[in-house]
Structure 1
Amino acid sequence: MKNCVLCAEHLRSEEGELIWRGDDCRVILVNDPDLPGFCRVIWNRHIGEMSELTFGEREVLMSLVLVVEEAVRHIMQPAKVNLASLGNQVPHLHWHVIPRYQDDAFFPGSAWSAKVRETSAVILQARKAKASGLPAAIRAAISQLH
């Protein structure tokens, strides 16, 4: 699809750091200053809904989502991990894997809620440092799937 930001090759590097790319999916570490460790698992082919995938494709996608969630839990040690597949604004199949903390800017609301606080720069810097370990952890976990 021409106007899809997730399909446009030239935009992929702008959405975050590419951690891993396979034939069907890719995993991005999102550039989000308020939520370090926020990852996105994106289906490469443009489709809008999970039900458009074959059963085998669903298994591939959800296995990746769960591997990313486990890595985020292990590395980031959040209070909670949010998993979301919305597609209201970007109707291209993708999953958000978001580490959440009671002191994050949006807690207890969603990552798309209005900010209710500012997280201290010291805490955000510590979380960014932790998030730097996610690419290697996620790639290692994905390599165990095959």
Structure 2
Amino acid sequence: MVNCVLCSEEGGTLIWRGDDCRVVLVDDPDLPGFCRVIWNRHVAEMTQLSYGERDLLMHLVFAVEGAVRAVMRPNKINLAALGNQVPHIHWHVIPRFEDDAFFPGSAWSNRLRDTPDAILKIRRQQALELPQAIRAAIATLS
């Protein structure tokens, strides 16, 4: 689709690509480990997918969530599929920590604090393990 950022760009650093979906790591300095699962073809709503496509997408979202939980060890994982600003199906998989900049609000809330640099450095280092962990989790789906 014309002017769709997820049709013209990866949407982050590519971790895995299949025929229908891709998984990317988002470069968010406040939320290391933030991933997206993106449907490759331009589709705006989940109900525009077949039941099999929906199953595939959600299996990928859950595989990514499990890998992010195992690697990042967050207090909580946020899963979100909004599409208000980018009406192209994509799921956000966001590790959340009680000391992150926005907790307990959403990742798009106003900043409540600055996470200490030393903690962010550790989390960024952990996030380097995500590509391998996510690919391994996805490999178990087939």
Superposed pair shares fold, TM > 0.5: yes
Pairing 1:34–2:30 present: yes
User: Scaled by the length of structure 2, what TM-score is found?
Assistant: 0.99
Aligned to 2:5: 5
Pairing 1:140–2:136 present: yes
> Could you tell me how far apart the structure 2 residues matched to 1:64 and 1:143 are?
10
Q: Count residues with an aligned counterpart.
A: 142
User: Which of 40, 47, 59 is matched with 2:55 structurally?
Assistant: 59
Pairing 1:113–2:109 present: yes
> Could you tell me how far apart the structure 1 residues matched to 2:33 and 2:119 are?
13
Aligned to 1:50: 46
Aligned to 2:16: 20
> Could you tell me how far apart the structure 1 residues matched to 2:50 and 2:105 are?
33
Residue deviations 1:28-63, cap 9 Å, x none? 000000000000000000011100000000000000
TM-aligned CA deviation for residue 78 of structure 1: 0.1
User: Scaled by the length of structure 1, what TM-score is found?
Assistant: 0.96
What is the SS of the residue equivalent to 2:135?
helix
Tell me which stretches of 4 or more aligned residues in structure 1 moved more than 6 Å: none
Amino acid at match of 2:107: A
User: Which of 81, 86, 89 is matched with 1:90 structurally?
Assistant: 86
Aligned-residue sequence identity (percent) comes to 67
What is the SS of the residue equivalent to 1:86?
coil
> Could you tell me how far apart the structure 2 residues matched to 1:111 and 1:141 are?
25
Amino acid at match of 1:4: C
What is the SS of the residue equivalent to 2:92?
strand
1:112-131 equivalences under 5 Å are: 112-131=108-127
Unaligned residue ranges in structure 2 (runs of 5+):
none
TM-aligned CA deviation for residue 2 of structure 1: 1.2
**Root-mean-square deviation (Å):** 0.6
TM-aligned CA deviation for residue 137 of structure 1: 0.3
> Could you tell me how far apart the structure 1 residues matched to 2:129 and 2:41 are?
28
